[in-house]
Amino acid sequence: MLKINDLHASVEDKDILKGINLEVKPGEVHAIMGPNGSGKSTLASVIAGKEDYEVQKGSISFNGEAIEELDAEERAHKGIFLSFQYPVEIPGVSVTNFIKTAINESRKAQGLEEMPAKDMLKLIREKADLLEIDRNFLSRSLNEGFSGGEKKRNEIFQMAMLDPKLAILDETDSGLDIDALRIVANGVNKLKSKDNSVIVITHYQRLLDYIVPDYVHVLYKGKIVKSGTKELAHELEAKGYDWIKEEVNA
Amino acid sequence: MDLKDKLLSSHLVFEDRSDMGSYVNNLRNDAIKVFQEKGFPSKKDEAWKYTSLNKVLSEDYCVFPKQETALEYNDVKKYFIHDIDTYKIVFIDGKYSSHLSQTTHEGIDVCLMSSALCKPKYRLVIENYFNKAAESDSLSALNTAFSSEGAYIHIPKNKLVEKPIQIIHFSTGNEAAIMLQPRNLIVVDENSHVQIIERHQSLTNNPVLTNSVTEIFAAKRAIVDYYKIQNDNANASLIDNTFIKQKQSSLASVHTFSFGGKLTRNNLNFYQNGERIDSTLKGVTIIGNKQHVDHNTLVHHIEPNCESHQDYKGIFDENSTGVFNGKVVVEKEAQKTNAFQANNNILVSDKATINTKPQLEIFADDVKCSHGCTIGQLDESAMFYMQSRGIPKKEAKALLMFAFSNDVLSSVKIPELKQRITKIIANKLGVSLGFDL
């Protein structure tokens, strides 16, 4: 599904990713861990198509198609979804209207008619229930005055609505209490199938107790320095990152 | 002959036609002398430092249109808020159009200035209010000198006017270039409430210069909501001089939506004569392509325990220019004043300019006054957020602009008007959002 080959990327002439190789197959869950400033969020943004980042070398292909030149919205239309660490507030635009716009723009790009209002409403209700989202919440301005937990839940709600092939969850666990974490993880698990994949970016093992990864990668200084299975995450939780840093620096 | 000379000589003709010796005619004769002495403002005047009228004044304007023109309602319907019932006072090339208007004298007076000026039953109101709020700056004086037509609205005590009133000025382009000087008087007595929508619309690309004066008087506990839609053609310029005098516990608000026109200057002045007065001044400006919009506001806090709220948002694209000059004066007696002012701007293009200048003169010592202006670009991370959800750049940009303007849009109290304004913005940005905000 996703194939990243020797990816180098920089922002404002600062090299951040220095040769990433990663392959994610349909149905797989990959976790990317690593200390602060190792390039985790940059990797997520580069896959999703943020303009500030410049790909200098290497390639990203999605379902066999090179995507590194595509705009963010085109990547979204192909089925890539990024859940933001810090979702943006948009006053005056309700959660419902925002997601309606997003869905219909995607449909337009695929040459489909707008989704009938009745179907849209049904879908919104179904996905809101899945994430235990109150109906009143849907008419509030997008992310405005939302608590940390509400913001993240709203991100996963949008993910549920857009039904992506590849979902990248960037620090979705940060700012969540244990109940919110459970609801969010539950939602992600229910949306998972053998055809779609998830990349979970996180500092901590905590989220991975709920969303169990097939593979765990450690990103450090812009490179994947270690890969393993979920046991690697436990080891990191117990020992921290220092031993990895030592290994790399040695 | 330049425009000033032309106006001065035209006034001699105008004088012959007017009722000699009347209260207003004496004012006109005094006012033309003021204009003769001061002339048009230039960039040397502090208040006009960033706005030059030179180009606008260089056209050869017709001051008195020769012929009357009729318009069919269906041809101009789109400029009205037509999905609700309203009173309408409509002018075509400065002349009243009874065909397009819907006035009333039932309990309230919604009619024309020309009839108010000549009928004895309005004399008292005219003598008590006409030119009692307007300043004697050169442009207001010029308007006074030629004042003969406009809207006359008088709401007596304890009336809630259920239908909004629309004041619309059309210019047809029958003259190669035309100068219009409408004069509006709005008197709202105690406990009454009125909503007014004003629009100037040119129907061709012939140059139009409008120098309008509106005087508004809000008595005790009166509520006045005034909305100005400025979405005119590329060769139409507007100098809007609005003066609002408020008495105790009254609420007055002016919302100005500036999207069109060549040069637009809003001189908006609030005077608070009483306690517990609330004044609101809000505006959204979205312009591009050599357009120029200047907001010059004044709030004069004279007595204690009053509030004022100013919130102006501007989005400037291409080589457009914006000016915001917001003056707040708090007199020594005006303790416990709460004056708030914000001016936020987004420059979409490298060639756009905004000049913003807050000006606070505070003589009282127990007040809360705040002001802030910001100039920024469109938030790139917000753009990326929306694009990553599949919303294309143009639509994402539009959503951000709506979000930016939301504080102002959300306080529009007429839902149909709010809808219309969001539609005008969406059209201007070339997007269809598929929902009403």
Going from N- to C-terminal start, the domains of chain A cover: 2-249
Half-sphere exposure of A3 (CA within 13 A, CB side): 7
In total, how many domains does chain B have? Answer: 2
Across chain B, mean pLDDT equals 93
Question: Which homologous superfamily does the CATH classification assign to the domain defined by A2-249?
Answer: P-loop containing nucleotide triphosphate hydrolases (3.40.50.300)
Q: Is residue B373 part of a domain?
A: no
Chain A residue with the nearest C-alpha to that of B385 = A88
Q: Is residue B59 part of a domain?
A: yes
Tell me what pLDDT residue B379 has: 87
Tell me what pLDDT residue B32 has: 95
Task: Report the side by side order of strands in the sheet with B338-347.
Answer: B95-96, B87-92, B165-171, B193-202, B223-230, B251-258, B278-287, B307-316, B338-347, B368-376
Tell me what pLDDT residue B17 has: 63
Q: Which of A48, A84, A92 sits opposite B406 (nearest CB)?
A: A92
ipTM: 0.95
Tell me what pLDDT residue B21 has: 66
Q: Is residue B157 part of a domain?
A: yes
Q: Which of B390, B399, B409 sits opposite A162 (nearest CB)?
A: B390
Tell me what pLDDT residue A92 has: 82
Q: Smallest Cα–Cα separation from A81: which of A172, A180, A211?
A: A172
Q: What are the backbone dihedrals phi and psi of residue A191, each rounded to the nearest 5 degrees, phi first?
A: -85, -15
Q: Which of B387, B399, B435 sits opposite A72 (nearest CB)?
A: B387
Domain-terminating residue out of B273, B300, B333:
B273
Q: Is residue B397 part of a domain?
A: yes
Q: Which two tokens stand for residue A216?
A: 């765990």
CB contacts of A75 in chain B (<8 Å) are 388
Q: Is residue B65 part of a domain?
A: yes
The Cα–Cα gap between B372 and B357 comes to 10
Domain-terminating residue out of B255, B273, B291:
B273
Instruction: Tell me, yes or no, whether B238 and B385 share the same domain.
Output: no
Residue A59 has pLDDT above 90, yes or no: yes
pLDDT digits over B338-349, tens only? 999 999 999 999
Residue B433 has pLDDT above 70, yes or no: no
CB contacts of B390 in chain A (<8 Å) are 73, 76-77, 102-103, 105-106, 109, 162
Residue range B239-263: mean pLDDT, rounded: 97
pTM: 0.88
Report CB contact under 8 Å: A84, B385. yes
Question: How close B433 gets to chain A, by Cα (Å)?
Answer: 7
CB contacts of A102 in chain B (<8 Å) are 386, 389-391
Candidate from A225-229, B18-22, B93-97, B352-356 with smallest mean pLDDT: B18-22
Q: Is residue B366 part of a domain?
A: no
Tell me what pLDDT residue B434 has: 58
Instruction: Tell me, yes or no, whether B258 and B383 share the same domain.
Output: no
Residue B437 has pLDDT above 80, yes or no: no
CB contacts of B394 in chain A (<8 Å) are none
Domain-terminating residue out of B258, B273, B288:
B273
Q: Is residue B348 part of a domain?
A: no
Q: Is residue B199 part of a domain?
A: yes
Instruction: Tell me, yes or no, whether B47 and B176 share the same domain.
Output: yes
Q: Which amino acid belongs to residue B417?
A: L
Where in the sequence is the domain holding B254, given as residue range(s)? 3-273
Compare B146 and A204 and report the one with higher pLDDT.
B146
Ordered DSSP codes for B213-267: EEEEEE-TT-EEEEEEEE---TTEEEEEEEEEEEETT-EEEEEEEE---SEEEEE
Residue range B180-206: mean pLDDT, rounded: 97
Tell me what pLDDT residue B20 has: 63
Checking phi first, is residue B54 left (phi over 0); if not, alpha (psi -120 to 50) or beta? alpha
Residue range B237-251: mean pLDDT, rounded: 98
Report CB contact under 8 Å: A73, B393. yes
Q: Which of A50, A52, A73 sits opposite B392 (nearest CB)?
A: A73
